[in-house]
Amino acid sequence: MSADYPSLPSPSPSSAVSYITREVERTLTLQPSTTPSVQAHQSASIVRTTIARTNSAAVVFEVLPASGETRVAITPEVTSKKVCRDIISALVKSYRESHLGKRWPAYDGRKSLYTAGPLPFASKEFVVKLVDEDSLARRERTFNVAIKFAAKADLHHLQEFLRSRQLDIPQEIIQVLDVAILVMAYNIGKVFIKAFALTQMGLSLNVDMSARAFYEPILVHDFVKKYCNVRDLRRPLSDQDRVRVKRALKGIKVEILYREGGRRYKISSVSAQPISQLMFSCDDTGARTSVVQYFREKYHITLEFASLPALQAGSDSKPAYLPIEFCKIVPGQRYTKRLNERQVTAMLRATCQRPNEREQSINKMVVFNNYNSDTLVNEFGIRVRAELAEVEARVLPPPMLKYLGTQEAPRVGCWNMIDKRMVNGGRVEFWTCVNFSRLRENELYRFCEELVNMCKAKGMDFNSAPILPILPAHPANIEKALSDIHAQSSARTGPGKQLQMLIIILPDVSGSYGRIKRVCETELGIVSQCCQPKQAMKCNKQYLENLALKINVKVGGRNTVLVNAIEKKIPFVTDRPTIIFGADVTHPQPGEDSSPSIAAVVASMDWPEVTKYRGLVAAQPHREEIIQDLYKTWEDPQKGVCHGGMIKELLIAFRRSTGLKPDRIIFYRDGVSEGQFSQVLLHEVDAIRKACVSLENNYLPRITFVVVQKRHHTRLFPAQHGDRNSTDRSGNILPGTVVDTKICHPSEFDFYLCSHAGIQGTSRPTHYHVLYDENNFNADALQMLTNNLCHTYAKVYSFSLHSSSSLLCSFGSFSGTLLCRGRSIR
């Protein structure tokens, strides 16, 4: 128990906790909100109004059919959604006229099948025959398909909800319509996402372009040479190269080129021996022949790359060997593995579109899809308007930022540090630099000198002389080099002092950043600043300024503060002590089944400026979204029940930093999908309240809980492309643009805010959804606060995508993931 808060006995959850639980449950029953997003804007006089287009189209119903949901059971069981859809397609083709009442069903690829109206039976079984294209013999497989009535979904409920005559969201209806619209085939390579949403303008269809990575349909030996770094295909592969080729090709479908028909196979492995050494029994006599001889005699083919292993299809007991040089990768196969840096760069370069180009692509796809002429869409009575919706938007003014001795308001999304000094410069007495790259000695010394001078010019107290000589180190000995620096610097600084900043020039080959941060931050406790060798060699002034901003924050300084915060003119923040939290959870990449998820929570440590943040990270179960360590209890043999967790630790840190107890908590929660709202809200608001009560009995600061969503497909386009008064330099909508009508929720408190200027491509607005609000924010106050917080992010001098608290916790959870890959963390 902290000395800053009175000691308490170990209480069971108090009546206050029960109260907050009841309040959350009341909020989740979708009773009318006390602060809807359509309320009057009290600060309308200080904002600009404009018109924006969005990638949503209004949807109306010509008829309101009753939709039926049936359950589908396929035996033998099939795990592939594609095969399941093929089976149902074959069933519809064979039985639609005779048994399905001429209905066109919408199938989700799993267990549910929907129809616009009842089927002529409650339960029925069908026999479906399907040719298995992936099998070696292309055998015909027989499936039993059982269809059984499950529920009736009436579209009338949707209409009543949109008229505010019904409080419960008709989620089952949205599910039916989503499946119906998604049955339309996706384009290969560029997928257009289509999803229904309940909005203030009624039901809307969101249409957006998304990119997927696919295997390049090339010859397999070209694939091996291009992507597996095998230069000479005429030489046998090493064991390491063979394993790499096996991993790259396993599961890929190929078609053979040495006979007509283009037979397809799924690769299960590659042979352990070169194809020139492979023997097999080709007939019932047991006579063995080589694969090379077999192809020469049967297909009159001489294998050019006989030193390469063969592709293996089928099982280990009955394999089919295929020569690499006569196999081609089947087009249209999604690449589901993790992309490397080069592939990510290529993906962004191929898919990046300016706003006018993206809007044109979406409009062309709407016209091409021609929803209103689709048989299935018509059967469900859906009519989609061809034009994209226009929405009223406002452009919030940027806040005034205070520097040392001056102040400035950002202009169209950015500002600079020319002739400006940090409002609070940090102090660095003990520092050094280590070089893991091929940067020459004179270039390294020049970079360090220029960086130190830049830090001083911006207001930092930076010692010109490093505590240790600046030396190069081999990238293969990263751990040893960092440990030696730590030991030598500790010996020179003396007791009670330590190295304050280690500047690290990264290796020329990427991939070492996570390892370096893990060693520095979890093993040695060194504050570090990593630098790219190419940028260090250039010594670009803007790059040095960015580094100085980062270094200043890392050593406890502040670059800028909000003028309104100093003058205590930010509503709901500066009138009484307020702490702002940000929280996020980063999950492992697909395929990493054993790695934990990483939760990060940050909180402001100064008031009223709200520019300094302290962060905590914790590992939790694999892909668990609810943050487990917000509040926790444990049994101590001497003290009894103990209370702790991230919230309590950060509240105590705030009290020690400011001398005040926060009367108000604003909690930005990143990365929660709509389906998780109820679960996250019930658990995490309850955990916040329990943490407060554990510090002081009846300590109940008012809580506002806001979900921050970035992974959505809503886009905002300027009404007039090219108009300098309504677009930034990249052609995107102006930074500070906020939308809280039409495309927002019909009854809840949410809004879209694009706080940043676009750099390339089309800007993505951040969606803020208020799930719980005891502070009774009005729409203007929360929107202005959020936009202001986006300007306090300390890493660069431009707008951040969303509020600094949620961005910092996203960065923290990702950093925690890097650290956790090498060592367990708490």
One domain, residues 380 and 486: no
Domain finish residue from 554, 571, 593 = 554
Residue holding tokens 């630790």? 649
Write down which residue in 512, 533, 554 finishes a domain. Answer: 554
In a domain, 240, yes or no: yes
Tell me how far apart the alpha carbons of residues 700 and 666 are, in angstroms, rounded to a whole number: 13
Contact between residue 583 and residue 667 where contact means Cβ atoms under 8 Å apart: yes
Structural domain boundaries, residue 273: 220-333
Q: How far is CA 277 from the centre of its chain?
A: 48
DSSP code for 81? H
Rounded to whole angstroms, the Cα distance separating 706 from 751 reads 11
Compute φ and ψ for 50, nearest 5 degrees. -155, 175
Tokens of 379: 């059967």
The CB-side HSE value for 142 (13 A sphere, CA atoms) comes to 3
Phi/psi of residue 100, each to 5°?
-100, 15
Helices 220-227 and 239-249: crossing angle, nearest 10°? Answer: 120
Give the DSSP H/E element, type plus range, for residue 702.
strand 702-709
Strands 327-329 and 253-256: antiparallel
pLDDT on residue 795: 53
CB atoms within 10 A of CB 432: 22
368 shares its domain with 457? no
Pairing assessment for the beta strands 431-435 and 427-428 based on DSSP bridges: unpaired
Report, as ranges of residue numbers, the positions in the chain whose pLDDT lies below 70: 1-46, 62-66, 133-138, 184-194, 283-286, 590-591, 794-826
Show the tokens assigned to 48.
Answer: 């600009």
Cα 632 off chain centre by: 27
Residue 159 amino acid letter = Q
Measured CA distances, 340 to 155, 174, 231, 533, 762 (Å)? 46, 37, 20, 20, 23
- Same domain as 668, residue 784: yes
Concatenating the DSSP letter of every residue in 239-280 gives HHHHHHHHHHHTT-EEEE-SSTT--EEEEEEEEEEEGGG-EE
Number of domains in the chain: 4
- For residues 748 and 769, give the distance between their C-alpha atoms in angstroms, rounded to a whole number: 8
Contact 69, 113 (CB under 8 A): yes
491: which residues sit within 8 A by CB, 6+ positions away?
none
Q: Which of 207, 44, 34 is nearest to 738 (CA)?
A: 44
Token digits for 592? Answer: 């990493």
Element (H, E) at 578: strand 578-586
Calpha distance 106→124 (Å, rounded): 17
Q: Is residue 7 part of a domain?
A: no
Cα 380 to Cα 101: distance, rounded to the nearest angstrom: 15
Task: Tell me the per-residue pLDDT of 323-353, one tens digit each, with 9 for 90 and over.
Answer: 999 999 999 898 988 887 788 888 888 888 8
DSSP state of 733: B
Read off the amino acid at residue 409: A
Considering the domain architecture, whether residues 113 and 226 belong to the same structural domain is answered as no
User: Is 803 inside a domain boundary?
Assistant: yes
Rounded Cα distance between 662 and 564, Å, is 19
Residues 264 and 121 in one domain: no
Together in a domain, 692 and 794: yes
**Which of 537, 554, 571 is the last residue before a domain boundary?**
554
User: Of 491, 487, 532, which is closest to residue 509 (Cα–Cα)?
Assistant: 532
As a whole number of angstroms, the distance between CA 72 and CA 85 comes to 11
Number of H helices, E strands in the chain: 20, 38
Domain harbouring 686, CATH code: 3.30.420.10
* Residues 586 and 530 grouped into a single domain: no
598 and 625 share one domain: yes
Regarding whether 573 and 549 lie in a shared domain, the answer is no
Q: 66 lies in a domain?
A: yes
What's the pLDDT tens digit per position in 271-312? 999 999 998 877 666 678 888 998 998 888 899 999 999 999
Mark whether 371 and 329 lie in a shared domain.
no
**Residue 746 near residue 7 (C-beta atoms within 8 A):** no
Sorted by sequence, the CB contacts under 8 Å of residue 579 that are 6+ apart come out as 603, 604, 607, 650, 651, 654, 662, 664, 665, 666
User: For residue 757, with 0-12 CB atoms within 10 Å meaning exposed, 13-18 middle and 19 or more buried, which class applies?
Assistant: buried
| 234 plus 125 within the same structural domain | no
Is residue 42, in this structure, part of any structural domain at all?
Answer: no
Q: Which pLDDT score is estimated for 45?
A: 39
Cis peptide before 76 (omega within 30 of 0): yes
Q: Kindly state whether residue 634 falls inside one of the protein's structural domains.
A: yes
Pairing of strands 406-408, 401-403: antiparallel
Look at residue 822 in the predicted model and tell me its pLDDT: 39
Contacts of 124 (CB under 8 A, 6+ apart): 99, 146, 147
Q: What is the dihedral of CA 551, 552, 558, 561, to 10 degrees?
A: -60
CA–chain centroid gap for 568, Å, is 35
Q: Do the domain assignments include residue 245?
A: yes
Structure tokens, 734: 């102006």
Question: Which pLDDT score, from 0 to 100, does residue 792 have?
Answer: 82
Domain with residue 291: its CATH number is 2.170.260.10
Q: How many of the other CB atoms lie within 10 Å of CB of 722?
A: 9
Residue pointed to by tokens 């509503």:
571
Q: What is the CATH number of the domain that holds 499?
A: 3.40.50.2300
Residue 345 lies in a domain: no
**What SS3 class is residue 366?**
helix
H or E stretch including 770? strand 766-773
Q: Looking at residue 316, what is its pLDDT?
A: 80
Q: Looking at the structure, do residues 525 and 568 belong to the same domain, yes or no?
A: no
